[in-house]
Structures are given as C-alpha cells and as structure tokens.
Structure 1
Amino acid sequence: MDPLSPEALRASFVNCSKGDAKRMPVPSEAALPPASRWAELDFFGWRDPGHPQAAWMVVGGDVVGQGEPVGIAMKVSSAGSAGRKNMCTLCFTTHSASDMALLVAPLAGPSGRRGNTVGNYVCADLACSLYARGLKRPARAQPHETISVEAKVERLRANLVAFVRRVVAV
C-alpha cells in the first residue's frame, strides 16, 4: 500500500458523506506509519479512543484493483460471543472475544442511506496485515497452517476485495 496523508485518507471514503469524512478523526501525520511500513499493509485501519464505537479502514488501490484507495467507515457492534474464541474473517487469526470486533459498514450509495449494512468479525486492533505476515503475534495460540506467508497475504487480499465489493455493491 502506498503511504497516505490524512487528507488522502478522508478523500477515500465511499460509504459516508463528505461532511462525515471531513469530521472523522483521522490520525495525524506523526501518528501514521512511517513510509517503510506502508508496504506491509494491505489496508490501514484505525480506531479512536474518543469514538470507541467507530472504526475506519482504507484499503489500498492495488488490493482492490483500481488506482485509488477505498475507505470504509464502520461501527463496532455490541453483538458478540463472550467467552468464545473467534476467527477474523479477513486474516483468519483467532482471538479471544475481547480481541475481536464485529464491524458493521453501511453500504455505499442509496442502499446504505436506507440503513442496509454488511458486517465482518475482524481483529479489534485492525492489524490483519501484520498478523498475516507474521509481523505481529496475537495473544492466543494459533492453529497450525500449512500455507506460506505469501498465501496468507493473498487470502487476506481476497477477503478484503470481497468485503469492499459487498460495501460498494459491485
């Protein structure tokens, strides 16, 4: 993924109004990953402690097969499975319930304005790219997989594309 500025992050959102994108709390330049780390990301996701029920994700244009990144605004659902382990639907990392979040995204366009949404159980810290590459270890022991890191990254990218397509209704 190419490095993005706060302005580029705001401009990428497809499922919220321009006013909502302008008001969303994006990380400052200083809080963004250094240029050398962007290549390890398939998407940049963040949550803001001041907005605990909100999450945002910007998927690289190279991942979704277009030149521009795609931003998705999401809500953190209170629905969950307390006491159970869960698997991220993007990177297949397993977590305890406290480290997993059901993220619900309004659909882009008129359908989303009518209240239609899609959701995924995702790593609460939105570090799926790092988990898939083995650059970050989850707290819970993981099932053994026989596929390579490259295959895990490809699987993550395919799951991201499917999620983005569901949100933009392509």
Structure 2
Amino acid sequence: MEPITEREIRASFVNCTKGEAKRLSLPADLAERPWEDLDFLGWRDPAAPQRAYLVAPSDDGLVGVALRLAAPGNRPRRTMCSLCLTTHQGDGVVLMTARKAGRGGQQGNSVGVYICADLACSLYLRGKKDAGPGSRLHESLTPEEAATRTAAKVTGFLARVVD
C-alpha cells in the first residue's frame, strides 16, 4: 500500500457522514507505518475501544469504513481471522460490523467480518508480527499469494458495505 494522508483517509469513508469522518481519531503514527507491508490501513480508536476503522485501496480509489466491535463474550480457545487466516487465543479475533453505505445503512443494515482485533493482518501474513505458536496455518501459498488472497477478501468485504 502506498502512504496516504490524513485528508485522503477522511475523504475515503463511505459509511459515515463527512462530520463523523472529520471527528474520528486517526492513528498518531501514520508517518511510521510500514506502508510497503500493508494491504490495508486498520486501527482501533483509542478514545472509543469498541470502534475501529479500515481503509483500503480499490479500483475506484480509497475506500474507508467505520467498524464497531461486537461486545466481548465467552470466546473459544482459538479463533481465526476471516481475512488473513491467522488464529488467535481468547479475544484476538473479534466480530467487526460496518453499517452499510447509503440507503442500506440508513435502514440499519450492516455487514460483519471476523478479523484480527489489532487489524494487523498484513503483518501476520508477512511474518512481521507474531500471534504466537501455531497461529499461522501451514500453506503452500507464498506470502505474496496469501497477501493477494487477503486483499481480495478485504475488497469483497468493502464491496458488501458499499453494495
């Protein structure tokens, strides 16, 4: 992913108002992010722990979505991220839901995905971050192919939000 600016991030949101996008908390470390290792930009809101944000490139430019984390409950021992297929113990994977864009969102419709709670899927795929022993499945895919698969899953999720 190419580095993106605060202005580009705020303009990318499809499922919140311009005012909401203007007020959301951006990551303080944008300049230090490992952009070359990212398939999407994801972060949790430090001021609102049940909120997260995801911004990804698409054929039409950047697409950003505001996410809400499901309330914590009894978690199985291990859960798997739907995007990068990394397994985590406890609450390392959470259900994140996004209000649909446009009329669907106005009617209260949303879509969800189980995703790494820290939104660091790209780093897990490339071995830049470790989720612990046995967290990555043995695959015959190269890291580049796994990243392509994850990017396609992110694109599919974003398409469901926009659709």
Letter in 1 for 2:98: A
Distance in 2 of aligned mates of 1:135 and 1:126: 13
Alignment of 1:61-80 (within 5 A): 64-66=58-60, 68-78=61-71
Distance in 2 of aligned mates of 1:18 and 1:161: 22
Whether the aligned pair in 2 keeps the contact of 1:53 and 1:75 (CA below 8 Å) is yes
What's the secondary structure of 1:51's corresponding residue? coil
* Cα gap change, 1:3 to 1:115, in 2 (>3 Å): same
Alignment of 1:1-170 (within 5 A): 1-28=1-28, 31-34=29-32, 37-60=34-57, 64-66=58-60, 68-78=61-71, 81-142=74-135, 143-169=137-163
CA RMSD of aligned residues (A): 1.5
Whether the aligned pair in 1 keeps the contact of 2:72 and 2:91 (CA below 8 Å) is no
Distance in 1 of aligned mates of 2:23 and 2:48: 12
Letter in 1 for 2:79: N
Distance in 2 of aligned mates of 1:41 and 1:88: 16
Letter in 2 for 1:54: R
TM-score by length of 2: 0.92
What's the secondary structure of 1:121's corresponding residue? strand
Whether the aligned pair in 2 keeps the contact of 1:91 and 1:156 (CA below 8 Å) is yes
What's the secondary structure of 1:39's corresponding residue? helix
What's the secondary structure of 2:10's corresponding residue? helix
Structure 1 residue ranges (4+ consecutive) displaced by more than 4 angstroms after TM superposition? none
- Once the two structures are overlaid, the 10-residue window that deviates more, 108-117 or 132-141, is 132-141
What's the secondary structure of 1:16's corresponding residue? coil
Aligned length: 162
TM-score by length of 1: 0.89
**Which runs of no fewer than 5 residues in structure 2 stay unpaired?**
none
Whether the aligned pair in 2 keeps the contact of 1:43 and 1:57 (CA below 8 Å) is yes
Letter in 1 for 2:55: V
Residue by residue over 1:61-110, the C-alpha shift from the partner in whole angstroms, topping out at 9 and shown as x without a partner, is xxx223x2110101001165513311101111011132111100000001
What's the secondary structure of 2:119's corresponding residue? coil
**Which runs of no fewer than 5 residues in structure 1 stay unpaired?**
none
Distance in 1 of aligned mates of 2:112 and 2:133: 23
What's the secondary structure of 2:138's corresponding residue? coil
- Percent pairwise identity: 44
